[in-house]
């Protein structure tokens, strides 16, 4: 069935607010290294774009494009396939012949291929994946269904779908993927079941807001983490995962044994960089509370609980924990401002740390700290610049005093950074944050 004559009823929800971008080749400032090839049977005003990087995939790309067309037909949607080809074989020619658009781009990595594609995407919704026929794009209707229901980010899940025997090495299937997915879910309070799945859907608007930067395999983690930062409405759908065709080598294997390890390393790096707040905030709170509990109650002398006496050494441990904790919390909050796509962290932190009130609070903390050190300093001066052997509770007070001085100063500097980082964030993401619901065609 011709894509253009297909019934529109089923996709009315997607069509209503459609805003097709002007043809990207006419856009000024386009990357001169990119070249768009349009097939004879091009699709006009697509409602869904399948966006696929390909590096020498002549073995499978033709069948892959056919799968996509079948997927569009089954879903009753007008779709385009956009192959980002950075190879040297016949991939582009075959893809074109099967009706796909091809964006010729230099070989600069998988993440970069997606970045290159963004200005060329015409549909309001995108489904991504591999050109190797390992993900079953004939079922892309499941993604379309979720878009219709109003979801902005739709993760495929091979664990909720099916995995052909031999498609995933046992180490990945039973250890690597479940464990990293579990850790990510714990840290980010998310509910993914397969964070490494390459078949994903996203609204084009959300994809643009993600502002992907990863050049290589780590784009996968960057996307997941930013989708959490952006609080995208997220769903999961089952996908079928097949093993590589006879004769096709995964790019990890083509690039040598180090490649998957390198991919894992840079994915981990992306998790740390884009999720710095998640990593330091919770441990920071734990240390801060624990530290304060070990310090403040001991300010006026040791305390015995049963057989244990909490004295100066415990205080010093608490002192260190409090400092680490407050730094963790403050740095986590700063990191949150850096990835504050929605503007909510800025609003919350600026309200919590207004300039004048925080300056006053910091000054009070600092002066109270100085005050608590006075007994020890006066003992020191009265002793002829020597401390007596037993200084009593003066040392306890001084430890708390020093801690309050430091906390006051750190809080003051943190407040300055919150204000500075918020201004920067306003410039990057817009003063009130982007409108997350704009221009999306959805039923709910
Ligand atoms: N344009 C472009 N495509 C790439 C590049 N590197 C990989 N690809 C394509 O990205 C997709 C994923 O690559 P695969 O080799 O299947 O890697 P994978 O599926 O993540 O890893 P395996 O699990 O080992 O198969 C394929 O369609 C590749 O052809 C690149 O540098 N540029
Ligand atoms: Mg693959």
Could you write out the three-class secondary structure of 163-185? Answer: ECCCCCCHHHHHHHHHHHHHHHH
* Nearest residue by C-alpha to atom 18 in ligand 1: 250
**Side-chain-facing half-sphere of 345: CA atoms under 13 Å:** 24
The pLDDT, as a whole number, for residue 114 is 97
Task: Tell me the pLDDT of the chain (444 aa) as tens digits.
Answer: 333 333 333 344 344 333 334 344 545 467 888 999 999 989 999 999 999 999 999 999 999 999 999 999 999 999 999 999 999 999 999 999 999 999 999 999 999 999 999 999 999 999 999 999 999 999 999 999 999 999 999 999 999 999 999 999 888 899 888 988 998 898 788 899 999 999 999 999 999 999 999 999 899 999 999 999 899 999 999 999 999 998 888 887 787 888 888 888 888 888 888 888 888 999 999 999 999 999 999 999 999 999 999 999 999 999 999 999 999 999 999 999 998 988 999 999 999 999 999 999 999 999 999 999 999 999 999 999 999 888 889 999 999 999 999 999 999 999 999 999 999 999 988 875 444 333 323 332
CA distance 409 to 134: 56
Cβ(110) to ligand 1 under 6 A?
yes
Tell me, in angstroms, the distance from the centre of ligand 1 to residue 251's CA. 6
Distance of alpha carbon 54 from alpha carbon 402, whole angstroms? 60
Query: Residue 168 Cα, ligand 1 centroid: separation in angstroms?
Result: 15
Domains along the chain?
Answer: 3-274 (3.90.550.10), 277-429 (no CATH)
CB atoms within 10 A of CB 323: 17
Q: Whose CA is nearest to atom 23 of ligand 1?
A: 250
List all residues 6 or more positions away from 304 whose beta carbon is below 8 Å from its beta carbon: 310
Expressed in angstroms and rounded, the spacing between residue 53 Cα and the centre of ligand 1 is 7
- DSSP letter for 138, please: G
């Amino acid at each position: 069935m011709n894509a253009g004559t297909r019934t529109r009823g089923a996709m009315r929800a997607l069509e209503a607010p459609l805003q097709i971008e002007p043809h990207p080749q006419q856009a000024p400032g386009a990357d001169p290294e990119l070249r768009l090839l349009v097939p004879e049977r091009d699709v006009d005003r697509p409602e869904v774009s399948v966006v696929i990087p390909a590096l020498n995939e002549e073995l499978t790309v033709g069948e892959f494009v056919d799968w996509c067309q079948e997927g569009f037909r089954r879903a009753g949607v007008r779709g385009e396939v956009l192959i980002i080809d950075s190879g040297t074989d016949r991939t582009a020619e075959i893809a074109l012949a099967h009706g796909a658009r091809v964006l010729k781009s230099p070989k600069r990595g998988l993440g970069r291929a997606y970045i290159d594609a963004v200005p060329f995407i015409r549909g309001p919704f995108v489904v991504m994946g591999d050109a190797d026929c390992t993900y079953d794009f004939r079922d892309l209707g499941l993604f379309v269904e979720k878009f219709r229901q109003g979801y902005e980010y739709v993760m495929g899940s091979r664990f909720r779908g099916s995995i052909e025997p031999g498609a995933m090495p046992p180490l990945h299937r039973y250890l690597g993927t479940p464990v990293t997915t579990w850790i990510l879910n714990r840290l980010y309070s998310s509910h993914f079941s397969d964070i490494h799945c390459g078949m994903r859907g996203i609204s084009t608007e959300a994809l643009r807001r993600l502002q992907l930067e990863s050049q290589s395999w780590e784009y996968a983690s960057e996307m997941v983490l930013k989708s959490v930062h952006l609080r995208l409405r997220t769903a999961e759908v089952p996908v079928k995962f097949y093993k590589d065709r006879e004769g096709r080598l995964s790019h990890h294997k083509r690039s040598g044994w180090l490649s998957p390890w390198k991919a894992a390393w840079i994915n981990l790096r992306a998790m740390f960089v884009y999720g710095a707040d998640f990593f330091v905030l919770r441990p920071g709170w734990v240390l801060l509370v624990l530290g304060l509990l070990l310090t403040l109650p001991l300010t006026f002398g040791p305390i015995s609980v049963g057989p244990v006496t909490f004295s100066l050494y415990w205080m010093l441990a608490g002192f260190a924990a409090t400092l680490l904790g407050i730094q963790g919390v403050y740095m986590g909050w700063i990191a949150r401002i850096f990835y504050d796509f929605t503007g909510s962290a800025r609003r919350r932190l600026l309200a919590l740390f207004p300039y004048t009130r925080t300056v006053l609070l910091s000054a009070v903390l600092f002066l109270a700290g100085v005050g608590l050190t006075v007994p020890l300093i006066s003992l020191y001066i009265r002793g002829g610049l020597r401390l007596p052997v037993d200084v009593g509770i003066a040392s306890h007070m001084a430890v708390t005093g020093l801690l309050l001085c430091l906390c006051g100063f750190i809080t003051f500097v943190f407040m300055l950074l919150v204000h500075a980082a918020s201004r920067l964030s306003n410039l990057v993401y817009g003063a009130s944050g982007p409108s997350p619901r704009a221009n999306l065609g959805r039923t709910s």
